[in-house]
Amino acid sequence: MKEMLIFQSNMQHLAYRNADISTRHAHFSQHLNIYIYFHSRASQMILKILVHLWLALWVIFVIVFCDLFIFCVGWMHTKFYVYVAKGAARAVVSFTSYCSSGGDTRRHIYCNLKCYFYRYSKVKCYIYTGDTDATPEEILQKAQQRFNVVLPRNVEFVYLQTRTVVEAKHYPFLTLLMQSLASIILGAEALGKFRPDVYIDTMGYAFTYPLFRYVAGCTVGSYTHYPTISTDMLGRVADRVEAHNNQGFIARSSVLSTIKLGYYHLFAFIYSLVGRCAHVVMVNSSWTHGHISTLWGTTTNLHIVYPPCDTQKFKSLNSIPDKDKDPKTIVSIGQFRPEKDHPLQLRSFKHLCNIIDEELAKQVRLVLIGGCRNEEDKQRVEALKALSVQLGISDQVIWKLNCPFPQLLESVQNGMIGLHTMWNEHFGICVVECMAGGLVMLAHDSAGPKMDIITEYDGQQTGYLASDEQSYACAMKTILEASDDERDCIRRAAKASVDRFSDEVFEGSFMEA
């Protein structure tokens, strides 16, 4: 009986203890729910405060910008406006702050100036440039050597001292906005030194259009290679995809991604306003046409003018049979910039070596040809070399930095495959040149290469497209293992198709626009 009473007492004590634990657990859950609720409300409140603060800063910016613009209108009209009598010589200026650069996108500058010289005898041509360390003779000589373009008359250069203000390295944050505002400073200096009758922007400095149109009274033309902001950029931020222009810590944060998306939308709105200030807009590809027409909301004065490619120079190369090519080289041409995605080329090449025959893998080489503009580019190349060592392919990668044009032609002549990996390349002049030179081209499955260049010609395949490491490696494997006749068939179709991008076609389209 005594043992029974002790057992009942213990059971009652255990029941009271369990009830106490359940009560404590209920209290803890209640407090936890309250904490989560208030923490969520606090996060929402912080987000709203940041968004409103951001909007307030933009309103202040717009007000200050408008006031500054109105002030400039009065000051510039009294200081720089020059009356040009009917029948007098007209001045056409091309805004190309990096005209001494060897980049292929600079070739159209000299081609469109040549158009003006041949079409209009009374036109005087000028170039705004920030290449203060180069004489006019050196710039023109370099253009003749690299681009094979000879101007029939002299062109005058207007040197600008403030070019450094538009360089992205000065603006680690708000880069698009700060570079665009800085371009107004550069444009004001240019206008202060010389006021043209016709202003043609080739750098994408859309924020200078109101300055030249409404302040200086110029006719404004735009040749846009790449929109400053695109709907694809908006999509990547909205989807929180990490990229070279969307850093990881932003992509991983919903708050920062929301703020950046708002910033992009506001910038796109202002970009559309200044873009509409151009009288005539020319774009270099179907992809750019789609984005500019969407962003600027205009199609009336919007024309596709493919950039001039020196196809004849590359097509004149003597072809070497594939069986005589040893080693079998894969040639990549492009400046060492982040968006060119050279790491993808190295990883794809490594993957290729893993999936092809061992003997064939010993014969292939990857040749990287490109320009290094500054110390930042040189550091990027060193990082790429370190990656090639890490992947175990350093002995099969050949680096040709800032190589002379004859060496570039020699590499194309001896190569088998042309490689291009930039996502959303607006056009792809190097893609056209490689096809004209006889390389079987493998480019990124997006934008210009996909929409304009590597398309069927008379029902024939002109190249290959890929989008990631595996698809690039598989495409290269297909090309290497194809027969000589299969590769030659693609080469012939590709060479015939690139005549669409010749100098003559460009000149006709440019003057028609």
Indicate if the pLDDT at residue 488 is higher than 90: yes
- Taking each helix axis from N to C terminus, what angle separates 484-497 and 429-436, rounded to the nearest 10 degrees? 120
What domains sit in the chain, N to C, each tagged with a CATH number?
A: 91-305 (3.40.50), 311-505 (3.40.50.2000)
Percentage above 90 pLDDT, the chain = 48
Judge whether 96 and 203 are in contact, CB under 8 Å: yes
Q: What is the pLDDT of residues 104-149, one digit of tens each?
A: 567 778 887 787 777 777 888 898 988 888 888 888 887 777 777 7
Burial class (CB in 10 A: 0-12, 13-18, 19+), 384: middle
User: Which whole number is the average pLDDT over 390-395?
Assistant: 96
Burial class (CB in 10 A: 0-12, 13-18, 19+), 133: exposed
Tokens 């590597």 found at: 454
Residue 12's pLDDT band, with cuts at 50, 70 and 90, is: low
Whether cis (ω within 30° of 0) applies to the bond prior to 327 is: yes
Please provide residue 316's backbone torsions phi and psi, each rounded to the nearest 5 degrees: -80, -5
User: Which whole number is the average pLDDT over 310-315?
Assistant: 88
Closest Cα to residue 439, out of 296, 288, 329?
329
* pLDDT winner (highest mean) among 77-86, 112-121, 219-228: 219-228
User: Which whole number is the average pLDDT over 308-321?
Assistant: 89
Rounded Cα gap, residues 216 and 233, in angstroms: 33
Judge whether 501 and 315 are in contact, CB under 8 Å: no
Indicate if the pLDDT at residue 84 is higher than 50: no
In 218-334, beta strands by DSSP E:
219-224, 280-283, 302-304, 328-333
Closest Cα to residue 421, out of 376, 379, 366?
366
Residue 63's pLDDT band, with cuts at 50, 70 and 90, is: very low
Between 275 and 239, whose confidence is greater? 275
